Amino acid sequence: MQRLHRIKFKFMPDSQPFSLAANIAANLQVHPASEVLAGPVLLYDLDPDTAQSVVDCLTLDAVRVTHQAKVLDERCTDRDTSYDSPMKFEEIPDSWRVAWSKALHPGGVEEALAAATKLGLALPMPNPFIPEDLQQKVLPEPNPPLPVRLKPGSPVVSYVFHRQDDQFLQPKALFLCVLRSPFLATDALAMLRAYVWAHLVQEALSEYAYDAEIASCSYHLEAADGGIILMAGGFHDKLGVLIQAVARKMLEIGTSSLDSVPENFYRIVVDRLGDALRNQAYHSQPLQQASQRFSELTKRGGNFPPEARAA
């Protein structure tokens, strides 16, 4: 984490003057002037005494538990002084404290390790997406002003374009892949199936992609007009690892076997997409509807109105 935060601080994007001034003013309230820029970002060397003083405050006598749910409305007989919201303060049951105390003191090291293993607790593995090679690639002379078409390395790839950045000068890359397919333009059902498939891939990779997002690598997969679009960006050292993982999942979901699409993933994706399409088709603002109709006219044959997909 310390290395990752140093990398983020070194290559963080420039802030707008207005936002930078406001952030500096806020940071001066909690950091010395010498650390006003780095203080909120960097993780400094561990101070055992200070860390222990914070841990010592985390006791069962000082713990507070917050419950937020609509089913608790009748029990919340008091009112919040700020927003007049229903609330209620109650003592924590003694049985809870007894159970927590037993969990905190299971015995020796072996007993504690066994208890943690039983609960599935473990330290996380090292983040595989933290970049190691942060060197900027040598710019070609002269650097072309526009992307240049390269010779594809595979017969299934029609066009490959590349241009090296000469403005931001950061060890990052942006990847864009467009997969054209006449299947998507067959009818609204085919388009909807492609939408569901793309979101299933992302749902299946949500846990894996979390480490990548922490390390400033991200991707997006969507069904677009007449094809599938895959975009990825981040530090070039480990961006290829993420792209390969996404490509493998694209080949697996819905193709290797029926078991490659877990039922819970499917229900989550279908419910979320159904709500979004119905809102887009029947509850969007007039300006958004006008933009949708214009897009349907200019992209006729490659896209379908949300009403058809929602049906």
148-173 pLDDT, tens digit each: 988 877 777 788 899 998 888 889 99
Cα gap 40→26, rounded to integer Å: 10
Query: Using CA atoms, how far apart are residues 27 and 106, in angstroms rounded to an integer?
Result: 42
Instruction: Judge whether 239 and 173 are in contact, CB under 8 Å.
Output: yes
Residue 258 confidence (pLDDT): 55
Whether 257 shows a pLDDT value over 60: the answer reads no
pLDDT confidence of 264, banded at 50, 70, 90? confident
Tokens for 208, please give them. Answer: 């894996």
pLDDT at position 181? 84
Q: Which residues, 6+ apart, have CB-to-CB distance to 202 below 8 Å?
A: 209, 220, 221
Instruction: Note the pLDDT of residue 304.
Output: 59
Strand partners, 300: 303
Quote the radius of gyration of the chain (alpha carbons, Å): 26
Q: How far apart are CA 116 and CA 42, in angstroms?
A: 30
Distance CA 83, CA 80 (A): 6
The correct CATH number of 170-310 out of 3.30.460.10, 1.20.1050.10, 3.30.830.10, 3.10.310.30 is 3.30.830.10
Strand segments, DSSP code E, in the chain are 78-79, 86-87, 148-150, 160-162, 172-180, 218-224, 227-235
List beta partners, residue 303.
300
Residue at token pair 């504690």? 112
What spatial distance separates the first Cα and last Cα of the chain, rounded to whole Å? Answer: 47
In this prediction, residue 310 carries a pLDDT of 55
Which tokens go with 254? 């819905």
* Contact call for residues 110 and 104 (beta carbons, < 8 A): no
Residue 173 phi/psi, 5-degree rounding, is -140, 155
Question: Which of 156-170, 258-272, 296-310: highest mean pLDDT?
Answer: 156-170
State the pLDDT at residue 236.
93
Work out the mean pLDDT of the chain and round it to a whole number: 86
Q: Which residues of 294-311 are buried (b: 16+ CB within 10 A; e: fewer)?
A: eeeeeeeeebbebebbbe
* Per-residue pLDDT, 60: 87
Asked if 275 and 281 count as a contact pair (C-beta separation under 8 A), the reply is no
Q: Please report which confidence band the pLDDT of residue 65 belongs to, taking 50, 70 and 90 as the band edges.
A: very high
Q: Which two tokens stand for residue 277?
A: 């399409």
Domain boundaries, the chain: 1-46, 170-310
Instruction: Name residue, tokens 């119905």.
Output: 278
Q: Is-contact 1 128, C-beta < 8 A?
A: no
Q: Which residue has the tokens 């492609």?
A: 194
pLDDT at res. 15: 84
pLDDT band for position 188 (50/70/90)?
A: confident
Q: Confidence band (pLDDT; 50, 70, 90) for 309?
A: low
In single-letter form, the type of residue at position 119 comes to L
Tell me the mean pLDDT in the region 284-295. 80
| Average pLDDT, integer, range 67-85 | 89
pLDDT above 90 as % of the chain: 35
DSSP SS3 for 300: strand
Are 10 and 42 contacting, i.e. CB atoms less than 8 angstroms apart? no
Judged against a pLDDT cut of 80, whether residue 256 lies above it is answered with no
Quickly count: other Cβ atoms within 10 Å of residue 61's Cβ: 5
CA proximity to 147, closest of 172, 181, 174, 180? 174
Residue 292 pLDDT exceeds 90: no
Give tens-digit pLDDT for 102-129.
877 767 778 878 878 888 888 888 899 9
Structure confidence at residue 184 as a pLDDT band (50, 70, 90): confident
Containing H/E element for 308? helix 306-310
Measured at the CA of 181, the angle between CA 175 and CA 183, to 5 degrees, comes to 140
What local confidence, expressed as pLDDT, does residue 259 receive?
Answer: 65
The pLDDT score that the predictor gives to residue 307 is: 55
Confidence of residue 87 (pLDDT cuts 50, 70, 90): very high
Contacts of residue 157, defined as CB under 8 A and 6 or more positions apart, other chains included, come to none
**Residue 114: its pLDDT value, please?**
83
Question: Per-residue pLDDT averaged across 241-262, rounded?
Answer: 81
